[in-house]
Amino acid sequence: MELLLKILKTLPGFVLANISLVSFLCLMIRLKKFYSATTVLLLLSLGWWAYYCD
């Protein structure tokens, strides 16, 4: 767990967010919920931009 936290701290948050969002999107596509996944992806990426540009 500590190693994971170190990795999280060294990675830029935006890159980390994109990795998690892409994996989430792939999961949603597998569950055949593509449209809801793209909507969530757009909302989350906008949220990340707002968070990191502040």
Q: Which residue has the tokens 């949603």?
A: 28
Inter-residue contact 41 to 24 (CB < 8 Å) = yes
Q: From first to last of its 54 residues, what are the pLDDT tens digits of the chain?
A: 677 666 666 667 667 777 777 887 777 777 766 667 677 777 777 777 777 665
CB atoms within 10 A of CB 52: 11
Host domain of residue 6: 2-53
The length of the chain is: 54
Report the domain count for the chain.
1
pTM score above 0.75: no
